[in-house]
Structure 1
Amino acid sequence: MKKTIATLAALLATTSLAHAEGTLNLFNWGNYTSPELLTKFEAETGIKVTVTDYDSNDAALAKVEAGGHGFDLVVPSANYVPIWREKGLIAPLDMTKLANHGNIAPEWKDVPWDPGRAYSVPWQWGSTGVAVNTSVYSGDINTSAIFLDVPEELKGKINVVPEMNDVVNLAIFYVGGEACTEDTEVLKKARDVLIAAKPDWISMDYGATEKLSNNDWAASVNWNGSTMRARLANPSVAYGYPKEGYPLFMDSVALLADAQNVDNAYKFLDFIMVPENAAMISAFARYANGIAGSDEFMPEDMKNAPEVVTPEEFKAAGRFLPTCSPKASEYLAAIWTELQK
Structure 2
Amino acid sequence: MKYTIAAATALALSAAGAMAKELNIYNWGNYTNPKLIEKFEAETGIKVTITDYDSNDTALAKVKAGGHGFDVVVPSNSYIPIWVGEGLLMESRPDQMENFKNVDPVWVDVDWDPGRHYTVPWQWGSVGVVVNTKYYDGDIDTSSIFLDPPESLRGKINVVPEMGDVMSLAILYHGGELCTGDKEILKKVRDTLVDAKQHWLGMDYGNLEKFAKEDLWAGVNWNGSTFRMRLQNDAIRYGYPKEGYTLWMDSVAVLKDAKNVDEAKAFQNFIMDPENAALISEFARYANGIKGSDAFMPEDMKTAREIIIPAELVDKGHFTKPCDPEVQKIYTRIWTDLQK
- Under a length normalisation based on structure 2, what TM-score does the superposition of the two structures give? 0.95
What CA RMSD, in Å, does the superposition of the two structures yield over aligned residues? 1.9
Cα deviation for residue 11 of structure 1 reads 9.8
CA contact (8 A) 2:88 2:257 kept: yes
Cα deviation for residue 12 of structure 1 reads 11
Is residue 278 from structure 1 mapped to residue 277 from structure 2 by the alignment? yes
Is residue 47 from structure 1 mapped to residue 36 from structure 2 by the alignment? no
CA contact (8 A) 2:94 2:268 kept: no
> Unaligned stretches of 5+ in structure 1?
1-6
- Please list, as runs of the form range in 1=range in 2, the aligned pairs for 1:1-341 lying within 5 A after superposition: 17-18=17-18, 20=20, 22-95=21-94, 98-341=97-340
Q: Structure 1: which amino acid aligns with 2:132?
A: N
Cα deviation for residue 208 of structure 1 reads 2.4
Task: Evaluate the alpha carbon distance shift between residue 334 and residue 16 of structure 1 in structure 2; reply closer, same or farther with a 3 A threshold.
Answer: farther
Aligned-partner SS, 2:32: coil
Q: Structure 1: which amino acid aligns with 2:274?
A: P
Matched with 1:4 is none
Q: Structure 2: which amino acid aligns with 1:245?
A: G
CA contact (8 A) 2:281 2:287 kept: yes
Aligned-partner SS, 1:142: coil
Cα deviation for residue 16 of structure 1 reads 8.2
> Unaligned stretches of 5+ in structure 2?
1-6
Aligned-partner SS, 1:220: strand
Following TM superposition, where does structure 1 have runs of at least 4 consecutive aligned residues deviating by more than 3 angstroms? 10-20, 94-97
Q: Structure 2: which amino acid aligns with 1:55?
A: D
CA contact (8 A) 1:97 1:266 kept: no
Cα deviation for residue 94 of structure 1 reads 3.3
Q: Structure 2: which amino acid aligns with 1:329?
A: Q
Task: Evaluate the alpha carbon distance shift between residue 66 and residue 17 of structure 1 in structure 2; reply closer, same or farther with a 3 A threshold.
Answer: farther
Distance 1:223 1:68 in 2: 31
Distance 2:13 2:200 in 1: 55
CA contact (8 A) 2:53 2:59 kept: yes
Distance 2:12 2:52 in 1: 31
Distance 2:150 2:196 in 1: 11
Percentage of identical aligned residues = 62
Cα deviation for residue 211 of structure 1 reads 1.1
Per-residue Cα deviation, 1:288-313 (whole angstroms, up to 9, x for no partner) = 00101111111000000010000001
Distance 1:233 1:86 in 2: 41
Aligned-partner SS, 1:316: helix
Aligned-partner SS, 1:307: coil
Cα deviation for residue 17 of structure 1 reads 5.0
Distance 1:35 1:105 in 2: 25
Moved more, 96-105 or 321-330: 96-105
Aligned-partner SS, 1:206: coil
Aligned residue-pair number: 334
